[in-house]
A and B are shown apart, each in its own frame.
Chain A
Amino acid sequence: MKVELEVETKKELLQGNEAVVRAAINSGCNFFAGYPITPSSEIAHGMAELLPKYDGIFVQMEDELASISAAIGAALAGARAMTATSGPGFSLMQESIGYAAITETPVVIFDVMRAGPSTGIPTAPSQGDVLQAKHGSHGDYPIVVLAPATVRDSYHLTEEAFKVAEEYHVPVIVLSDEIIGHMRESVELPKLKARDEIKFGGIKRLGIGLRKHITGLVYDETGMPTTEPEKYEKLLKRLFSKIEDEKLMKYKMEETEDAEILFVTYGSTYRSAKTAVKILRSKSIRAGLFKIETLNPMPERALKKASENASRIIVPEMNMGQIVKEVKAILCDRDVIGISSFAELTTPETLVRAVEA
């Protein structure tokens, strides 16, 4: 993500959830529907405060089923729309997320992950929703999943989410977690823009005389329902081909050129891995890290390349091991191990010990 150079910046202490609000407004988001849930509520608070001042709409719906549905409806009517939630609410949203995917509706869903399943530990972080974000709705469908690791990422990946949603006509999920959402970091980010500096709103499909049918039933080229297997296959393949695009698959590499030990990370666990790499390098162990920013579609090719020289690949996650399975499948002939932590970050020391063991 490029920061536009002419934008005025200054160092400030900002929370992840606050950065999301600023990025959303600066990106022209003018519709937010949500339902309160820890640890995402600050996003709703910020949007409730700002949206009215920017001629946008904030609405607290009766539940998350309604929140996502209202956001999709708003997007169809031309708003640039988002919602934000955490695990339990994210589960409730799944059916309509599939609807957004099949109807090609751009909408941004922010999930600030907390420990689950069920009510879990509402105040504790987790990366337990990764598989749900990628596959949580029924059936096959394309979706983009982004994973910020810092407050700075929270800003830039939110911006990216709105761009990608409209460019590819897909729902985009941003998976943050309690640590990133609540942590305050000293960052240098674009300031909140003035109203006339922002182009609000997205793609209109309603109210412009198209007289088209939009449906969650499998549909043919005319948009009308069909039950023919060939047409179903054609629709699915077209929907999936949209996101088979390397441009979408974001990642960062740090010290990977000569890395024998490669940490594959995403989200807040990136932070522990980064420190672990530093410690290991100081001990003359050639460690590096591959930070996945797009969890779906996965940057497979880049990951393969980055791990070429590594003898060991370590995937730290704040869950029982969700992405490690996919990494193992991508790097099938390699030594890949997962390290789990629960409701807190793995410490860099744990990661260092795993290498030295």
Chain B
Amino acid sequence: MKNVYTDLLRTEYLPHVWCAGCGNGIVLGVFAKAFGYTGINRDSTVIVSGIGCSGRITQYLNFDTVHTTHGRALAFATGIKLANPELNVVVFMGDGDAAAIGGNHLIHAARRNIDLTAIIINNSLYGMTGGQVAPTTPEGKVTKTTPFGNPEHPFDISKLVAAAGATYVARFTSYHIKWLEKAIAEAMLHKGFSVVEVIIGCPTHWRIKPPELMKIQKEKYRRRNYSSIHEIKPWDIGVFVREIKPEFTERIRGIINP
């Protein structure tokens, strides 16, 4: 069976490493479809990822792919984009990857408004290492490293990057694939730092069956109209920011060729 977007995958390396029912596989499929819509040239596209379950996505995408180190994907991507601004650069990260170990690079990429598309796959814990607490884990939640409940406040990644200066910010779940597809395509076509946060959950470490996870995503998450990013609550989904601001690569090149 071959459809349009399987051509964008390295199908010879399937089946993938993810657990059955994991949302990472859904994101992979949705991304390939979304990429098809954009009409962007595949060979001028570079896909970068960090480390974690989510970081493995690059090995299945039949593009120029760079699987970097934990937390640094955006820093690598910044170098790639600055060295060759013609490239369309997409960066996949997990929530720990992007907001804990790589949190500094995340806010600085947003501040610079560098033309990268960050797709942050948020399962609200550390999947790859066995289900430890992440900076996105809800308060009170029991994980491997918070056996008595998480005593910390979580980040809302979308609000964080919006506050830091990202010019396109959207959040959807792995249930809302049509909206997600559109958001990923829009983000890739957006000039500036664009972030798509994808809520996927983690059936394995949440000890929940994939269909139940889907049910939660379907019932709890709501799209509505927002007048300000401050209104955004953890269960809100949608496109939160769409803004045009001077882009870093153009600015820095502008210094050279005024």
Closest to B56 in A: A225
**Which residues 88-119 in B have Cβ within 8 Å of A in the complex?**
104-105, 108
B80 within 8 A of A: yes
Q: Tell whether, in the assembled complex, residue A77 and residue B84 are in contact, meaning their CB atoms are under 8 Å apart.
A: yes
B28 within 8 A of A: no
B76 within 8 A of A: yes
A77/B80 contact (C-beta < 8 A), A63-B104, A69-B68, A210-B64 known:
yes
Mask, A62-100, CB within 8 Å of B = 1, is: 110111011111111111010000000000000110010
Closest to B43 in A: A209
A213/B87 contact (C-beta < 8 A), A66-B105, A66-B108 known:
no
B86 within 8 A of A: yes
In Å, the complex CA distance between A224 and B60 comes to 10
**Which residues 55-83 in B have Cβ within 8 Å of A in the complex?**
58-59, 62-69, 71-72, 75-83
A77/B46 contact (C-beta < 8 A), A69-B75, A211-B64 known:
yes
Q: Tell whether, in the assembled complex, residue B64 and residue A65 are in contact, meaning their CB atoms are under 8 Å apart.
A: no
In Å, the complex CA distance between A55 and B108 comes to 24
In Å, the complex CA distance between A214 and B61 comes to 12
Mask, A156-184, CB within 8 Å of B = 1, is: 00000000000000000000000000000
Q: Tell whether, in the assembled complex, residue A57 and residue B63 are in contact, meaning their CB atoms are under 8 Å apart.
A: no
A132 within 8 A of B: no
**Which one, A52, A72, A210, contacts B79 given CB within 8 A?**
A72
**Which one, A55, A61, A208, A215, contacts B256 given CB within 8 A?**
A55
Q: Tell whether, in the assembled complex, residue B83 and residue A66 are in contact, meaning their CB atoms are under 8 Å apart.
A: no
Q: Tell whether, in the assembled complex, residue B79 and residue A216 are in contact, meaning their CB atoms are under 8 Å apart.
A: no
A117 within 8 A of B: no
Closest to A217 in B: B67
B163 within 8 A of A: no
Q: Tell whether, in the assembled complex, residue B87 and residue A207 are in contact, meaning their CB atoms are under 8 Å apart.
A: yes
Q: Tell whether, in the assembled complex, residue A70 and residue B76 are in contact, meaning their CB atoms are under 8 Å apart.
A: yes
A10 within 8 A of B: no
In Å, the complex CA distance between A216 and B56 comes to 12
**Which one, A52, A72, A77, A209, contacts B87 given CB within 8 A?**
A77
| Min distance, Cβ B83 to any Cβ of chain A, angstroms | 4
Q: Tell whether, in the assembled complex, residue A57 and residue B252 are in contact, meaning their CB atoms are under 8 Å apart.
A: yes
Q: Tell whether, in the assembled complex, residue A59 and residue B63 are in contact, meaning their CB atoms are under 8 Å apart.
A: no
In the complex, chain B residues whose CB is within 8 Å of the CB of A61? 75, 78, 108
B13 within 8 A of A: yes
Q: Tell whether, in the assembled complex, residue B72 and residue A66 are in contact, meaning their CB atoms are under 8 Å apart.
A: yes
| Min distance, Cβ A171 to any Cβ of chain B, angstroms | 14
Q: Tell whether, in the assembled complex, residue A76 and residue B69 are in contact, meaning their CB atoms are under 8 Å apart.
A: no
A59/B69 contact (C-beta < 8 A), A76-B80, A213-B58 known:
no
A224/B78 contact (C-beta < 8 A), A76-B66, A77-B84 known:
no
In the complex, chain B residues whose CB is within 8 Å of the CB of A225? 59
A33 within 8 A of B: yes
How many chain A residues sit at the interface, stated as a range, is 35 or more
**Which residues 174-221 in A have Cβ within 8 Å of B in the complex?**
205-217
Q: Tell whether, in the assembled complex, residue A212 and residue B64 are in contact, meaning their CB atoms are under 8 Å apart.
A: yes
A207/B86 contact (C-beta < 8 A), A52-B256, A215-B59 known:
yes
In the complex, chain A residues whose CB is within 8 Å of the CB of B80? 73-74, 76-77, 206
Q: Tell whether, in the assembled complex, residue A79 and residue B83 are in contact, meaning their CB atoms are under 8 Å apart.
A: yes
Q: Tell whether, in the assembled complex, residue B67 and residue A73 are in contact, meaning their CB atoms are under 8 Å apart.
A: no
In Å, the complex CA distance between A18 and B82 comes to 25
B11 within 8 A of A: no
**Which one, B13, B75, B83, contacts A77 given CB within 8 A?**
B83
A31 within 8 A of B: yes
A74/B64 contact (C-beta < 8 A), A66-B104, A69-B69 known:
no
In Å, the complex CA distance between A1 and B182 comes to 57
Q: Tell whether, in the assembled complex, residue A207 and residue B44 are in contact, meaning their CB atoms are under 8 Å apart.
A: yes
In the complex, chain A residues whose CB is within 8 Å of the CB of B4? none
B14 within 8 A of A: no
Q: Tell whether, in the assembled complex, residue A74 and residue B13 are in contact, meaning their CB atoms are under 8 Å apart.
A: no
In Å, the complex CA distance between A7 and B42 comes to 44
| Min distance, Cβ A115 to any Cβ of chain B, angstroms | 27
**Which one, A53, A57, A78, A99, contacts B68 given CB within 8 A?**
A99
B255 within 8 A of A: yes
In Å, the complex CA distance between A31 and B77 comes to 14
Q: Tell whether, in the assembled complex, residue B13 and residue A96 are in contact, meaning their CB atoms are under 8 Å apart.
A: no
Q: Tell whether, in the assembled complex, residue B72 and residue A69 are in contact, meaning their CB atoms are under 8 Å apart.
A: yes
Q: Tell whether, in the assembled complex, residue A206 and residue B78 are in contact, meaning their CB atoms are under 8 Å apart.
A: no
**Which residues 232-258 in B have Cβ within 8 Å of A in the complex?**
252, 255-257
A62/B64 contact (C-beta < 8 A), A70-B75, A74-B79, A207-B84 known:
no
Q: Tell whether, in the assembled complex, residue B46 and residue A81 are in contact, meaning their CB atoms are under 8 Å apart.
A: no
In Å, the complex CA distance between A209 and B256 comes to 28
Mask, B27-65, CB within 8 Å of A = 1, is: 000000000000000111010100000000011001111
| Min distance, Cβ A74 to any Cβ of chain B, angstroms | 4
Q: Across chains A and B, which 4 residue pairs bring their CB atoms closest together, nearest first?
A: A73-B79, A70-B79, A69-B75, A74-B79
Known A-B contacts: A56-B256, A74-B80. Give 13 more (CB < 8 A): A55-B256, A65-B75, A69-B79, A73-B78, A75-B79, A76-B80, A77-B46, A77-B81, A78-B83, A79-B79, A206-B64, A213-B10, A215-B58
Give 9 pairs: A residue, B residue, CB < 8 Å, sorted on A.
A31-B79, A33-B79, A55-B257, A69-B69, A70-B75, A70-B82, A77-B83, A207-B46, A213-B65
Interface residues of B (CB under 8 A from A): 10, 13, 42-44, 46, 48, 58-59, 62-69, 71-72, 75-84, 86-87, 104-105, 108, 252, 255-257
